[in-house]
Amino acid sequence: MLAISSNLSKMIIFIFAIIIIVVLCVITYLYLYKDESLVSKHYINYMAIPENDGVFTWLPDFFSHVAVDISIYTNVEDDYFFSYFSLTNDDGGRFKKTLTVRAREQVAKIVSKNDPDTKKVWCKYGKIPGQGDGVNLFCW
């Protein structure tokens, strides 16, 4: 009976040691691989963005001036940004149309530099299969 109890306690100690090692590995991974270059800023509306903030250099010139609940994430080192914001239905429709036209123009410029035979580019909104309900802009 004593031998079984001793083996059981050794097994429990071994399992706890494995759990602690796994937790420490996960914490170390999350600490070492977080994107420290990503800067986030949040504003209640477009007018709340200070002129000298530098955010305007990231936003397209057609960014809606009536946007609210604006969150902007920038990474200067890797040269990218993304943003979340809210618009009314009317303003959202206008913004999507403008974004689609401008994106198509920019993608056409980039593609024509790399492949002069490409004559047309088009963009549309849609969901990525298996990636949730988010709607994204796709260009071909």
Side-chain half-sphere of 39: how many Cα atoms within 13 Å? 12
What is the rounded distance in angstroms from the CA atom of residue 73 to the CA atom of residue 30?
A: 19
- 69, amino acid identity: D
SS3 81: strand
Q: Please give the structure tokens belonging to residue 112.
A: 């024509």
Average the pLDDT over 66-80 and give the result: 86
Q: Is the pTM of this model over 0.85?
A: no
pLDDT on residue 47: 93
What mean pLDDT comes out for the span 102-116?
84
Domain ranges of the chain: 1-34, 36-86, 88-140
List pLDDT tens digits, range 78-98. 777 888 889 888 888 888 888
Average pLDDT, the chain: 82
